[in-house]
Amino acid sequence: MIRMLFIFIVLIIHALPLQAQIKIQEVTSPGGIKAWLVEEHSIPFIALHTGFRGGASLDPADKLGATNLMMALLEEGTGDMDAAAFLRAAEELAADFTFSARRDSLTVSARVLTSNAPEALGLLKRAITEPAFNPAAFERVRQQVLSNLNSEQSDPDAIARKTLNRIAYGTHPYGRPTDGTLETVSALTPEDLRAAHQAGLSRDHLVVGVVGDVTADELGPMLDALLGELPEAGAELPEKTEFGAPGGTEVVELDTPQSVAIWAQKGIDRHHPEFMATYVMMHILGGGGFGSRLTEEVREKRGLTYGVYSYLAALDHSSFAGGGVSSANDRIGEAIEVIRDEWAKMATGGITAEELETAQQYLTGSYPLRFDSNSKIARTLVGMQLDKLPIDYVNTRNDKVNALTLEQVSRAARKLLDPEGLQFVVVGKPVGVTATD
């Protein structure tokens, strides 16, 4: 009885249109700064997120980690306010500011109360336009970064990630650690941070997403006050580059009970016509938890891991298809074998109609869940702009997913997946896994 009911419901639901019901406005400030805005007046606060293209990839080769340290110091004093005074002022206003440096972008995010938004954003403006970089704060925060780098030397995930980046991208910025190394960070000076600040936080690299208790008319002047004094132009963005790993297996010895394995091969550009077909194919292979082929084969059937995944990484200047798994040292070999087999099976055999239908139902049905809070929506608005997606993408994306045919997705698998080209990095004391030359 219950089973029948389930089937009935599933069938009906498939026919319903599902859209993320959000209305995005493009706002242009009097000073010419553009932002995407979603008004939401039911809670008296504003989530304002900014993104700057370039990110840690803008670091010169001998100044690795400068951008990361620069962003960490933005909350450590401005003008004649020292770090403690700045922090106290933010606490007085009950405003939350976060600053982060990623490979392709920098983000500055604020959560401010409607009741004191101008004062709170005024404080944030001082942080991003006139950072103090004073020597005491510089030394203190540099030490924190160094202690993180130090800890990462025995963190299997960090070791794997850095090793794979180096093998795949060599001397391109993508091959370098975004937080720098113990050597490069130790050699940085406050002057280097000033240079990173000028290079990274500029209006030509800027995108803005705002969600909350503010109207389009109110937002324009706010944007000018907050961002209008940033430099017009920043550093040149990095060159495009190909994923360049030769394929094979690298083993990094670490005395720990469970090995971490990650892998990657060449990917596909975010704006390639077959991107969506490829994205859905990778979801069927190893995305979205239960039901993916990798989870079924590696976890559910064999109990070899707690988590296995694959994904498509569309970076601004390159792309790859990768994945990860963790298994006890004496089981990781079997896990890798199963993963290679699944990669090959998908490449030659493609997908089934049922898999495509399930993936379409999941990807379209769960899309609105990404828009369930002001902060998440603001972050998504920034991400969409950094990816150069059109403003109506939210309303067309599900149609694109639903329009995919079995042949398109199976062809994406044939074209992309290259079991021979897979580059594995295994960190731990794996049994029966040998490095290739």
Partner 1 sequence: MTFRIFSTVALIFLSATVGFAQTGKVTNFNLENGLQVVVIEDHRAPIVINMVWYKVGSADEPPGKSGIAHFLEHLMFKGTDTLKPGDFSDIVTRNGGVDNAFTSHDYTGYFQNVAVDRLPLMMQLEADRMRNLVLTEEEVIPERNVVLEERNSRVDNDPGSLFHEQRRAALYLNHPYSKPVIGWRHEIAQLSLQEALDFYDTYYAPNNAIAIVAGDVLPQEVLELAKQFFGPLAPSDNIPPRVRPQEPPHHAPIHLTFEDARIKQPALVRNYLSINRKPGDQKEAAAAMFLGELLGGSGISSVLGRELQLNRKVATYTSAWQSGLSYDPDGFGLYAMPAPGVSLEELEAAVDEVLAGFLKNGIDTDHLTRLKKQAAAQQIYSQDNLNQVARRYGQALTSGLTIADVQAWPDILQSVEKEEIMAVAARILKPSNSVTGWQMPPKSEVSQ
Query: Under rule CB under 8 A, which residues in 135-194 are in contact with partner 1?
Result: 140, 143-144, 147, 150-151, 153-154, 156
Please, what is the minimum distance in Å from the beta carbon of residue 344 to partner 1?
A: 23
Please, what is the minimum distance in Å from the beta carbon of residue 92 to partner 1?
A: 6
Please, what is the minimum distance in Å from the beta carbon of residue 255 to partner 1?
A: 6
Please, what is the minimum distance in Å from the beta carbon of residue 103 to partner 1?
A: 24
* Interaction residues for partner 1, span 13-42 (CB under 8 A): 13, 16, 18, 21-22, 40, 42
CA distance linking residue 93 with residue 77, whole number of Å:
16
Give residue for tokens 């304002």. Answer: 48
For the beta sheet containing 319-328, the strands, ordered from the edge strand earlier in sequence to the opposite edge, are: 248-253, 423-428, 258-266, 319-328, 308-314
Nearest to 326 by CA among 292, 291, 299, 290: 299
Could you say whether residue 395 binds partner 1 (CB under 8 A)?
A: no
Give the tokens for residue 124.
């944030």
* Interaction residues for partner 1, span 199-228 (CB under 8 A): none
Could you say whether residue 374 binds partner 1 (CB under 8 A)?
A: yes
Could you say whether residue 431 binds partner 1 (CB under 8 A)?
A: no
Nearest to 56 by CA among 104, 98, 99: 104
Q: Could you tell me if 346 and 413 are in contact, meaning their C-beta atoms sit under 8 angstroms apart?
A: yes
Could you say whether residue 348 binds partner 1 (CB under 8 A)?
A: no
CA distance linking residue 305 with residue 258, whole number of Å:
10
Candidates 181, 358, 395, 408; binder of partner 1 (CB under 8 A) is 358
Candidates 1, 61, 80, 392; binder of partner 1 (CB under 8 A) is 1
Q: Which residues contact 32 (CB under 8 A, 6 or more apart)?
A: none
Give the DSSP per-residue string, 203-214: GGGEEEEEEES-
CB atoms within 10 A of CB 65: 30
Q: In this chain, which stretch among 193-201, 340-348, 372-380, 384-392 interacts with partner 1, using CB under 8 A?
A: 372-380
Please, what is the minimum distance in Å from the beta carbon of residue 137 to partner 1?
A: 9
Candidates 31, 39, 87, 247; binder of partner 1 (CB under 8 A) is 87
Residue 413: helix, strand or coil by DSSP?
A: helix
Candidates 63, 126, 299, 397; binder of partner 1 (CB under 8 A) is 299
